[in-house]
Structure 1
Amino acid sequence: MSGNKINGVSGVDGFLAYLSDINRYMHKTYRAANFNMLFGHSLGGTLATYALLNKPELFNAYPIASPNYNINNGNFHKSLDMILKEKPEMIRSRFIYLTVGDQWQTENGFRAGDQKMDSIFKSSSSQKYYFRDSKGYGHNTTPTIAFVDGMSQIFSEWWHKSPDLRDSISGKNGDPATLVNQYYKRLSNWYGYTINPNAGDYQYYMGIAYLETKDYKTAAQYLNEGLKHYPNNADLLAVYGDALLGLNQPDKAKESYRKALRITTDQELIADINRKLKAM
């Protein structure tokens, strides 16, 4: 790097400004999670690292494959080392996945620089940094590793903790809603943005779990909360109708059932709701 540019490449800061504009548009236009990721391979991986070191606020995660850190006389290594000494939390708060292969001339030309960068990243003791030495892979095949394994590592908290949540609830190891909320609070703290329970969690763990114990009031409370996040989820509406029926509110139950019927194409659910309406 020379100043705010990579030698031999023009407009890197302008390109990051463009990505920032796209990011704002996406979040303004679509219901996107407040978690942004920049995937980079080869010189794109060099760009992703430049973004991490110079505009860390733009992205939360960086899967990087076979970047070229040899350019600009090793300034990438020096910049990272300096940031870790002055602002280590800037690196520790970001999810970084780095991989490099060992096949063919191009990849082996980048390998030493990438391994040196790995050793500097590891010195940060970050729990959100992952490195894979992709032996047997070349420059054109490491992106598949970075994408598949990178995503698995970055989102590993989802995979590792989800069975714990299911087992805790099925084993009756606490109040179901409390267990769900604790689980999503941990995820939110780890990933740095608010993550709400999904529709299935509201339906099964915060709805049906209480219906089974005839705690209709609590079931209705959490199902109503879930419908604020997922207002057009027919399964939630149907279970909410069950809770309202248990609370002896047949008119409101019918309203919820009928709304579910207008939405769903699930023939089994349609038949089940129609049986309940007919019996009322």
Structure 2
Amino acid sequence: MKFKLLLVLILFNFSGYAQQKIQIGETRSFHSEILDENRKLEIYLPESYKKGEKTYPVLYLQDSYYNFTHAVGTVEYLVLNQLIPEMIIVGILNTRRIRDLTPVSHGLSEYHINRLPNRGGADNYLNFMEEELKPFVEENYRAAPYNILVGHSLGGLLNTYCFFKKPNLFNAYLTISPSLWYTNNLLDKELDEVLKDHQDIDSKFYMTIANEGGIMLGNNYRLAGKLESYISENKELDLKFKFEPMFEQTHGSLGLPSIFNGLQFIFEDLKFELPENKEAIFAENGSQKMIEEIEDHYAKLSREYGFRISDEGAMNNLGYAFINKEGFEDVAVKVFNLNAENHPDSFNAYSNLGMAYEKAGNIEEARKYYEKALKMVKATGDPEWEFYQNDLDDLNAQEKEESLNTD
């Protein structure tokens, strides 16, 4: 009897655990007057969204049914490694996919005419995104004025069509194996003719292709060649382009690595490289000059992107440069102190400040910040809290040993 009761309790506990769900987003719907239908969205908000008032760039993800889960995971992984900023993801669920993602075409083969009877609604869909979807997101979420459009296959076709017709509707286009076998008068024109009314273009266009063949492969290379030539001949345009064939991937598997690489391309200028010659940093007033350079760099980027770009990683690298140079321990404390003041929610900033104080021989201050970092990291549930515990334990053991030696 006792065994049966114990078994029931165990099963009950495991059953309760199994029913816990991991939620990565929410579903919203609203009515579109332009499309004359209700549209559903899958919305992902970064973890920090509920803690503050800052704004976030928005990634508009087409074909959300297929792409939402892996896109969220990719973004979270890249953010964790400080390669891209946090962002809101708006996944657009399809109703009539072929209708929305294809422009009008007068040159399709009979096969494709029969296969795609409900085609040619791309202009209406672009109007929906510009006049209804983006305003809806901006009204309901803290959206920064920086937007990325992601499209795969027919979604990539829509990406390309949008870039040709309204290049400044989005700040960046992440275009995955676009279905450029699909014929359209606008897509067939030369770029200088298409973009003659868009001399203020300020976009980034990233494109991939999988192990495709035939006219689709040829037209992707043709578009890539057009863009590369146009950029080289029109250097006054602030247009950045990268074409990355991934022939080891299939048309279906290409989505995840494209988003992973594409987002890093879009935000590659967020990195700040310290000068290779460190002597300038260690010269008189070198630390102050570097601090000012880093602050100016990220302030400029924040103005250009329209949301705050963190300088925490760059300040950490600067602090490490000083902490590893004998005689510059106090400078390291200064840099890490500034970093902690500017990023009070970062347990890593406090941990580094504790390390700097320890290196400078100020054990009490080191302990204070190690303890603060440990408390903060435990509150997040981060499994690497043990490293922060070890820092504190090592400090206490070192102080105890020194005390015994002096006695």
> TM-score range, shorter-chain basis?
0.5 to 0.7
Residues 102-117 of structure 1 correspond to what in structure 2 (within 5 A)? Answer: 103=212, 108-117=214-223
Alignment correspondent of 1:75 = 186
Partners in 2 of 1:150 and 1:144 — Cα distance?
A: 10
Secondary structure at the residue paired with 2:372? helix
Letter in 1 for 2:224: D
Report Cα offsets for 1:187-211 as digits up to 9, x if no partner.
7767943533225x43452377168
Letter in 2 for 1:227: A
Letter in 2 for 1:38: L
1:63 is displaced (CA, Å) by 1.9
Residue 333 (structure 2) pairs with residue 224 (structure 1)? no
> Which residue of 29, 38, 42 maps to 2:153?
42
Letter in 1 for 2:133: Y
Check 1:188–1:99 CA distance in 2 against 1; reply closer, same or farther (3 A cut). farther
Secondary structure at the residue paired with 2:259? helix
Alignment correspondent of 2:392 = 270
Residue 250 (structure 2) pairs with residue 128 (structure 1)? no
Partners in 2 of 1:195 and 1:14 — Cα distance?
A: 30
Structure 2 contact 294–315 (Cα < 8 Å) conserved: no
Instruction: Please state which structure has a larger fraction of its residues in helix.
Output: 1
Letter in 2 for 1:41: H
Bigger mean CA offset, 34-43 vs 69-78: 69-78
Partners in 2 of 1:145 and 1:253 — Cα distance?
A: 42
Partners in 2 of 1:246 and 1:136 — Cα distance?
A: 48
Partners in 2 of 1:136 and 1:258 — Cα distance?
A: 48
Alignment correspondent of 2:128 = 14
Report Cα offsets for 1:233-273 as digits up to 9, x if no partner.
34432443576799999987765454334324322122145
Partners in 1 of 2:190 and 2:134 — Cα distance?
A: 22
**TM-score relative to the length of structure 2:** 0.49
1:59 is displaced (CA, Å) by 3.2
> Which residue of 200, 217, 237 maps to 2:350?
237
> Which residue of 288, 309, 318 maps to 1:195?
309
Instruction: Please state which structure has a larger fraction of its residues in strand.
Output: 2
Residues 246-261 of structure 1 correspond to what in structure 2 (within 5 A)? Answer: 255-261=368-374
Partners in 2 of 1:23 and 1:250 — Cα distance?
A: 48
Check 1:112–1:257 CA distance in 2 against 1; reply closer, same or farther (3 A cut). closer
Bigger mean CA offset, 10-19 vs 238-247: 238-247
> Which residue of 174, 178, 185 maps to 1:63?
174
Structure 1 contact 226–236 (Cα < 8 Å) conserved: yes
Unmatched 5+ stretches in structure 1: none
> Which residue of 196, 206, 224 maps to 1:85?
196
Alignment correspondent of 1:205 = 318
1:40 is displaced (CA, Å) by 1.0
Aligned residues: 260
Partners in 2 of 1:146 and 1:235 — Cα distance?
A: 30
Letter in 2 for 1:6: P
> Which residue of 66, 79, 99 maps to 2:208?
99
Greater C-alpha radius of gyration: 2
Structure 1 contact 77–120 (Cα < 8 Å) conserved: no
1:96 is displaced (CA, Å) by 0.9
Letter in 2 for 1:150: G
Structure 1 contact 234–263 (Cα < 8 Å) conserved: yes
Partners in 2 of 1:239 and 1:67 — Cα distance?
A: 45
Structure 2 contact 371–392 (Cα < 8 Å) conserved: no
Unmatched 5+ stretches in structure 2: 1-101, 105-119, 378-384
**TM-score relative to the length of structure 1:** 0.66
> Which residue of 136, 142, 164 maps to 1:27?
142
Check 1:133–1:89 CA distance in 2 against 1; reply closer, same or farther (3 A cut). farther
Q: Name the Cα RMSD after superposition.
A: 4.4
Partners in 1 of 2:353 and 2:139 — Cα distance?
A: 36
